[in-house]
Structure 1
């Protein structure tokens, strides 16, 4: 049995309820965040709480608990479920709006589930992607609006591809659920600076990667992307995964590059117990 928290109550996952009048259901209006635990220790929790509360404030959603109380509830949930390697989702909704349009005090939800990270074989295989012209609404906010990403799933399946990278005016931005980095032929690490969600994995890589090679946050064109020496995605659940093909064009030698490997090794070291809590 897995426990879920909704407002003031812990309930079995299948028995947790939210009224249908909530703006999350009526209009898809809510924010969320998602972090991992390692041996029942939340990873980079302060960073995820910062982003969660920032997203809620940006959408005028009132979280019915203080930041410190949210942290307490998270640890209570971890203790009740005892899922050492897991993912925890925090959701703050637009609330039970009387006109189904105006945000009121939000509802707060915590869910926990066991997760499995990509194994060595998945890393070695990398991912094959396509580009698609699109820019998310309010990209600095982690909202529940994944309309385009989900709509494109059928096309990805038909083409046998793994993910889609959004592009706007020939400048790349992000995946629906991940950030992107390139390593240029001149051995510089670069990631888009504008119109992207500030990923926590992205943030950690930007903090430590300078010890390995020069780092830049800037606009990156589709042409530069396709001529990069290495390309990889970053996210909470994927950590770092190489991109080996873009729109049918092979990246580098079609395998994980040496810098991508080094960055993953360093990031894994950050996630040992005692770090990032």
Structure 2
């Protein structure tokens, strides 16, 4: 059976889902998105994702297509309709179809935004074998636009980064700007030195990760020291361990950077502990 997806007020089989060819998300990448994790049929940190969605919409002067309560119901309906136990829910909002192609976009309220929501079933998402082996990453220059704090659908360069990593036999790429790591292609980056967790501070240069916020809060509650500042690839290669965080990877250990093995080449104790703590606490607060 095909998935049921949500498009502008209607639940339809994915084969019947349609948007206009003049939609600005299609023509201009004029849209934002969120990905919410589903574990055991429940949503992880939904409120955090909705808060970031509002922030992204506000930053682009884009109208919200629905309120948080309605979006929550849509997410729950899709989980039920598609019988998702573990997986992801992708939500995308674009500025919609103002008529014809034009660089200038319409004022808020003059064009109906497009809302698309769909599920991806991923059984056993939390028990990813990669978390036991750890990721290998390469470094690439960060060539994205400057507002990485807005979660837009402009994902061409991160996609190219994923393919560069794949070609190099790695799992992901860390992007570097002005000599410092910004983030991974779809995750926030961290290193650990003498038990201290180091990750880049929040700014327009990186995405304000929902999982990042939760993991850092939990780390501090567990009496771990956190330092928010930039770090270089060379510093990362000399670190005791490293990891990334994202909605789909949770806390993923990194064991090799640009061919240099970290420690003994296996996931370190800080990353392993944070992954366990994050999954345990997330399941307790899931809705």
TM-score over 0.5 (shorter chain): yes
Corresponding residue for residue 127 of structure 1: 135
Deviation at 1:54, TM superposition (A): 1.2
Deviation at 1:86, TM superposition (A): 2.0
Corresponding residue for residue 178 of structure 1: 187
Gap runs ≥5 in structure 1: none
Give CA-to-partner distance per residue, 1:166-209, whole Å, 9 cap, x none.
1111111111211111111x221111114111111111111110
SS at match of 1:174: strand
Give CA-to-partner distance per residue, 1:24-80, whole Å, 9 cap, x none.
111121100001112221111100111112112212221221222222222222222
Corresponding residue for residue 157 of structure 1: 166
SS at match of 1:271: helix
Deviation at 1:135, TM superposition (A): 4.9
2:37 maps to 1:44? no
SS at match of 1:62: coil
Asked if 2 retains the 8 angstrom alpha-carbon contact of 1:63 and 1:108, the reply is no
The one of 254, 263, 266 equivalent to 1:255 is: 266
The one of 243, 247, 260 equivalent to 1:232 is: 243
Deviation at 1:120, TM superposition (A): 5.5
SS at match of 1:224: helix
C-alpha RMSD of the superposition: 1.7
CA distance in 2, matches of 1:238, 1:143: 20
Alignment of 1:24-173 (within 5 A): 24-100=25-101, 101=103, 102-103=105-106, 104-116=111-123, 117=125, 119=127, 121-137=129-145, 138-173=147-182
Asked if 1 retains the 8 angstrom alpha-carbon contact of 2:139 and 2:173, the reply is yes
Deviation at 1:12, TM superposition (A): 0.7
Asked if 1 retains the 8 angstrom alpha-carbon contact of 2:164 and 2:173, the reply is no
**How many aligned residue pairs are there?**
275
Deviation at 1:105, TM superposition (A): 3.0
2:254 maps to 1:243? yes
CA distance in 1, matches of 2:121, 2:97: 30
Asked if 1 retains the 8 angstrom alpha-carbon contact of 2:63 and 2:113, the reply is yes
Worse overlay, 174-183 or 102-111: 102-111
Corresponding residue for residue 12 of structure 2: 11
Corresponding residue for residue 198 of structure 1: 208
Corresponding residue for residue 266 of structure 1: 277
Gap runs ≥5 in structure 2: none
Give CA-to-partner distance per residue, 1:219-252, whole Å, 9 cap, x none.
2222221211110011111111111111111112
Deviation at 1:119, TM superposition (A): 3.7
Asked if 2 retains the 8 angstrom alpha-carbon contact of 1:38 and 1:271, the reply is no
Asked if 2 retains the 8 angstrom alpha-carbon contact of 1:35 and 1:43, the reply is yes
Corresponding residue for residue 188 of structure 1: 196
